[in-house]
Amino acid sequence: MSSIRLSTLAPWTDRAGRVSWLKLAVFVACVAPAVWIALRLHCGTFHPAPVRGLIRETGDWAMRFMALSLAVTPLRYVTRQNRLVIVRRMLGLTGLFYTLAHLAIYMFDRSFNLWWMILELFWRIYISAGWVATVVFIVMGVTSNDWGIRRLGSATWNRWHAWAYPAAFLSLLHIFILVRLDAFEATLIGGLCAFAVGFRLLRRAGRAERPWTLLLLGVGLALATAVFEAWFYRFATRVDMMRVLEANFDFSYRIRPAWWVLAAGCAMAASAMLRVGSWRMRGAAARPQPQ
């Protein structure tokens, strides 16, 4: 009995203690960046300034895993794979792991000087935003288990865990204040997080099944992403906004973030259209009733 319980604790097993290939694959993907960083550190090929490189790289992975955990709900909807829910917690906890590593290296970089860190917390907006986001991620990490749900009750738990969105916003604020010349990834993640928020609001209003609404959301947020990106570069580097907007139509280098947000909107709308089509074919009874 106790061995069955122990086996359910492994990150790659399901509740029954059986190996879940999906969880195993995601677990390998979660650990891979840390192993890659450790290998490069060991071989001396990591970064000319290793501590600064470590702060940046752990921060980058924290941001990526945070965004991936927010993407699970819309992805479940597009792919109709409900079992994706079992990896959401793992992705969120991995985001927290890289955030804590990021914080620990920051503290090491500041020689664990408490007064200096307190001063920075109140003096630098990006540090304040990072701290608040980190505290929210910690609370979510500690409560994201059966014990947390039991203790808080599922309604309160859901309300608490909706704080992931404001925390993601604060993380992005932290990052946008720091990045200057290359805001590609931050803009992409910001656009996709905005889509996840929009999708959540549509679901709450009972409109997430409507293909046109999802398409409109995608188009609106893609335009907003393009304008925000142009505004950001204007603000950070004084480059002409029109030039940045025009870069959206130059596909020779990278496909700009706005197109990826549009692609997310189109994928969701197409999936909703297929779903509505299949209900029509199977009759009204096949349509799930609102709970």
Q: Which residues bind ligand HEM (CB under 6 A)?
A: 52, 55-56, 59-60, 62-63, 66, 99, 102-103, 106, 127, 130-131, 133-134, 171, 174-175, 178-179
Alpha carbon distances (Å) from 52 to 47, 48, 129: 8, 9, 19
State both tokens at 151. Answer: 């203790």
The Cα 41–Cα 125 span in angstroms is 31
CB of 131 to ligand HEM, least distance (A): 4
Going from the C-alpha of 162 to that of each of 111, 113, 139, 156, 192, the distances in angstroms are 35, 34, 12, 10, 16
**What minimum distance in Å lies between the beta carbon of 128 and ligand HEM?**
9
Q: What is the rounded CA–CA span in Å between residue 99 and residue 103?
A: 6
Bridge partners of 13? 19
Shortest spacing between CB 64 and ligand HEM, in angstroms: 9
Q: Which residue, among 8, 172, 33, 175, has the nearest Cα to 94 in the 3D structure?
A: 33
CA 135 to chain centre: 16
> Is residue 222 classed as helix, strand or coil in its secondary structure?
helix
> Residue 164 CB, nearest distance to ligand HEM (Å)?
11
Q: What are phi and psi of 19, to 5 degrees?
A: -65, 130
CB closest to ligand HEM, residue no? 59
In 112-222, DSSP assigns E strands to none
